[in-house]
């Protein structure tokens, strides 16, 4: 016996109600109810329309941090106590920038190709929170006594990026349909 698929159904709900009568507890369709063609549009309303903005924001944050760590390592090292070697920090910043590039590429690939995006987004949320906690205990304790205001702004930017990762992980099932693009 063949199984019935939703794509092969050739009877509308209105015709089914006319043939069999209303199901107990079911309300009859009224004039204000959307037409069947409009129902498909309403079914697509489960898409999170803020997804592309969060993804673009995360990409911009990753590019800004990578640019700062790769091209201006001495500027970033200037916020730390003078006892720490600037060349050691510059080397660390380059490794950190490479790590940011790698995980950003994996995250974007997972999003654009729908490659286990629900799992990858949860893993990257954990990586982001863990990196912030480790930086708090290992790097931010070595900040100079009078850090500039933009350092506080960068920390707030990291919190906002983690919030975007959290929202993406929570609504990964409502991501835009395939094929996905960053700009649309």
| Cβ atoms of residues 94 and 69 within 8 Å | yes
pLDDT at 48: 74
Residue 143: CB atoms within 10 A of its CB come to 14
Tokens of 104: 């950003």
pLDDT at 43: 47
pLDDT at 105: 92
Q: What is the pTM of this model?
A: 0.65
**What is the phi/psi pair of residue 80, to 5°?**
-100, 165
pLDDT at 111: 86
pLDDT at 1: 47
Each domain of the chain, given as residue ranges in start order, spans 6-45, 49-174
Element (H, E) at 156: helix 149-170
pLDDT along the chain (184 residues), means of 10: 59 77 63 53 63 88 89 74 72 87 91 88 92 78 66 85 91 80 65
pLDDT at 31: 55
């Amino acid at each position: 016996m063949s199984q019935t698929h939703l794509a092969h159904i050739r009877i509308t709900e209105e015709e089914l109600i006319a043939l069999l009568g209303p199901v107990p507890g079911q309300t009859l369709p009224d004039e204000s109810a959307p037409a069947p063609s409009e129902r498909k549009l309403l079914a697509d309303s489960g898409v999170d329309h803020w997804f592309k903005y969060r993804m673009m924001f995360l990409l911009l944050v990753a590019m800004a941090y990578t640019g700062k760590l790769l091209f201006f390592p001495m500027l970033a090292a200037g916020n730390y106590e003078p006892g720490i070697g600037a060349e050691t920090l510059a080397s660390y910043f380059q490794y950190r920038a490479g790590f940011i590039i790698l995980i950003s590429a994996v995250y974007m690939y997972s999003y654009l190709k729908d490659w286990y995006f629900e799992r990858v987004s949860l893993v990257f949320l954990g990586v982001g929170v863990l990196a912030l906690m480790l930086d708090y205990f290992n790097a931010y304790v070595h900040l100079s006594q009078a850090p500039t205001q933009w350092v506080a702004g960068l920390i707030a930017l990291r919190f906002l990026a983690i919030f975007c990762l959290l929202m993406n992980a929570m609504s990964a099932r409502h991501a835009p349909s395939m094929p996905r693009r960053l700009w649309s």
